[in-house]
Chain A
Amino acid sequence: MARQQKRIKDKALLGKDRVGFILDTTYALVILLSALIFFKIIYIQLTYKVDPRVESLFRPTATKQIERPKRGAILASDGKILAISTPVYQIYMDCAVQYDIYRQDGEKGGLKEQQWREDAKELSKGLASIFQDKTADQYYQFILSKREAGRHYEKIGKPVDHATLQRIKALPLFNRGPNTGGLIYETRDSRQYPYGTIARRTIGYVKDNSNSNGNNLIGIEGRFNFELHGKEGHAWLRKAEMNKRIHNFDSTAVRAVDGNDVRTTLNIDLQDIADRALRKNIQEEERISGACAILMEVETGAIRAMVNLQRDTTVEGHPLSERMNLAISQIGEPGSVFKTVTLTSVVEDGFVHSVDETVPTFRGNLPGYPRVRTDPHIVDWEDSTHRKEIPIKRGLEISSNYVFAYLATKCYESRPKDFYDKIYRYKLGEKFDFDIDGLGTPQVVTPDNNPFWEKTSLATAGYGYSIAVTPLHLITFYNAIANDGKMMRPYLVEDVEKDGKVIRKYGPGILGNICSKATADTVTRALKGVPQYGTAKKLRRARLQVAGKTGTAQVALRADEKPRAGDQYHDEWGRKKNQGTFVGFFPADNPKYSILVTVYSRLSLGSFYGGDAPASTVREIVDAIYSMDSSCGTSISRSGELPVMEVREAEIAEGKVPDVKGFGLIDAIYAIENGGYRCAYEGSGHVVSQSPAGGTALKTGETITLKLK
């Protein structure tokens, strides 16, 4: 009994150990398995590469498709399209399509190959007529040689538009589809500029556009890329019947958001007029390397036209093209156009009350400033008038450097900072916010920022040297004078639109008041005299009175242009570079537009004056605007009621003359010829009399004479 109990106890103990053993083993296995899983994860994450064949079996059948947004358009102020996106298509051909199959298909394949080649001959004729870069025979030989060489991807011609693609698709052989005809085409995004190169530099370029000159993302295209571009989206496609792909709406999809449209201030008609006028006046003068023109609306600062032309010396004939935005980036000493700045300052600060006030002449030598050159205009003035003083207005008209150096030094010699503060107040010393990148920063030599400043700098600043500004800065200043002292921020972008609705307004902005209305009126009075009696005589007979100033400045040479020692304006052969400008506004009494034209010369011995090509260009623009703008014309007030015309039909009775009095010519001829008569007429307008009179009996075939008025 005891023995049996012991055996049971041992068995129980043994059983207990066995359970423990199993649990321990299971635990050890779990730990081992966990470790294996852990190391496997690390292995998979770091080194394991799935066999592509295996991967393809597990890959979902849906494929991701990136949806590209449609880039927004750039519009002119009146909604005309300046830039729009459309695709272009590059054609390729699988020349060796079905070639191997036909060869292996015996006689039947031979017949098919023969038919293919006959179609290829017809295709070649079509390609030759569309692309016009090879003859039909050349195309045929090309296709055959590539077919025999087994080429599957041969480029055909240049990218084509959609309409041409449809014509190509309809050509023999290509109309058989890609698997037999071998037509392959790639779609590329392309930006269309319907007005061609006009305002191209202002409108700008898009990055990655194969049509660009390599200088990407500039102008409005560049600056407003964030508005124009839109937002990419994606969709999942899955296979449906007949291997077609459809959207998988069960999956997550993000719709592409098309770009917004940007409405600019540009007026394409004015831009065209300015572009043509500038080209006409500089085209033949090879020594002019480039030019720019800006037309700005006085009241708002909206830029209606901005032309930038430069000679492309790499192309035969050196054509003019929009390559660089000279209007906003070209910094240069403005020369005499800056005299208006000096005049505005001295009038505003109360040193001069009227432009009829005079300054002493001293034979054109500025007292105390021996380094300032003698002014030959003053010598002429003294000699012709025998007067020892000159009115300031006359000084501006003849563009005397002396008069404005005298005013600057006389009024500001003891406080030059006041003069320079004024320049900064006129925004001529700083860069302001502008709608496209690249606005140049003016350079002003002042006692504070330049240790080499000397009092001669003040004198030369008075007539536009020792200071460098862009054309845009200059016109902004003149625009403020035209706008009674209120300086408007020049701008190019009116608003941003989505489906025709304005979603963001940019529009006009004020940079500040630079002078009083009285000062602006005084300065305007002086500026009116420049075209009438001064250096801008070409504008004297402009159809609208222009107020403005010419300026001719020598351009400081770069080191690579080898300036003479001690003379930065001439090279060793005495050649120089000029910058000729006219800047002003019109109509002078009630200004609507400000205008600036600047031409830049290359190194040459001649001079280019602001009164020549720039003034001629301004004249053409002003005359064209006058003829287009009905507000410049006369208006007739309607004083009485106009008689209401009675609507009646001509009675056509056989053998009787129809009464056509009051009819227009076409209606009268219609009625007379329907009656079987001939018609003779004189004058224009409506029939006031006829012979014979209406209702008179007359044989058919006779002539009725009408008088129109």
Chain B
Amino acid sequence: MKEKKKKTFLEKFRSFYKGEFLLNVHADEYFVHIIWVFFLAMFMIWAGYKIDKSLTVMERNKAVLEDLEIQYTQRKSELIRLDRISTIQKNLSDLGSDLQMPERPATVIKKKGK
């Protein structure tokens, strides 16, 4: 009986690298499936990357929105401050206006039939 020649480590690695073990297990019968799994894996990686990218943009936009909301609230607060009757009167007086609160209430014109 002819003795089988023992493979060196390098030969084993080369064989593994070439994917000969796949032929040994007849993986070539499932070649299309392997390609498909590969494609799916690639797609998953790409989709994950795009999702992360979108989420980053979303976070950035969220921060901008929060910023604008704060700005809006503070502007609103400043405007409300000016809305006080005393403030209006003071501002008018500072501007040299002699406009005063009316002494008499407004006259109301009633609608017909009421």
A-side residues, CB < 8 A to B, are 80-81, 84-87, 161-163, 192, 194-196, 198, 240-242, 244-247, 268-269, 272-273, 276, 624, 626-638
Contacts and interface: CB of A to CB of B under 8 A. Distances in A.
Contacts of B102: 627
Contact of B101 (A161, A196, A624, A633): A624
A162 B85 contact: no
Contacts of B93: none
19 contacts: A81-B76, A192-B77, A194-B77, A195-B80, A195-B84, A245-B59, A246-B55, A246-B59, A247-B55, A268-B84, A627-B101, A627-B103, A630-B108, A633-B104, A633-B107, A634-B107, A634-B108, A635-B108, A636-B107
B71 interface: yes
Contacts, number: 98
Contacts of B104: 627, 633
A652 to B, nearest CB: 36
Going nearest first, the 9 A-B pairs with the smallest beta carbon separation are A633-B105, A194-B80, A246-B55, A635-B108, A630-B106, A240-B52, A162-B70, A632-B105, A86-B73
A268 B80 CA distance: 11
Contacts of A631: 105, 108
Contact of A196 (B53, B59, B81, B111): B81
Interface in B31-78: 49, 52-53, 55-56, 58-59, 67, 70-71, 73-78
A90 to B, nearest CB: 15
Given A80-B83, A247-B59, A633-B106, 9 more contacts: A80-B80, A198-B84, A244-B59, A246-B55, A633-B108, A634-B107, A635-B109, A636-B110, A638-B109
B8 interface: no
A246 B103 CA distance: 61
Interface residues of B, number: 34
Nearest to B71: A162
Contact of B81 (A162, A194, A246, A637): A194
A86 B78 CA distance: 12
B112 interface: yes
B91 to A, nearest CB: 14
B86 interface: yes
A85 B101 CA distance: 32
B110 A637 contact: yes
Nearest to A245: B59
A669 to B, nearest CB: 23
Contacts of A247: 55, 59
Contacts of A86: 70, 73-74, 77
A244 B106 contact: no
Contacts of B81: 194-196
B55 to A, nearest CB: 4
Nearest to A198: B84
A628 B74 CA distance: 30
A91 to B, nearest CB: 16
Contacts of B101: 624, 627-628
A635 B109 CA distance: 6
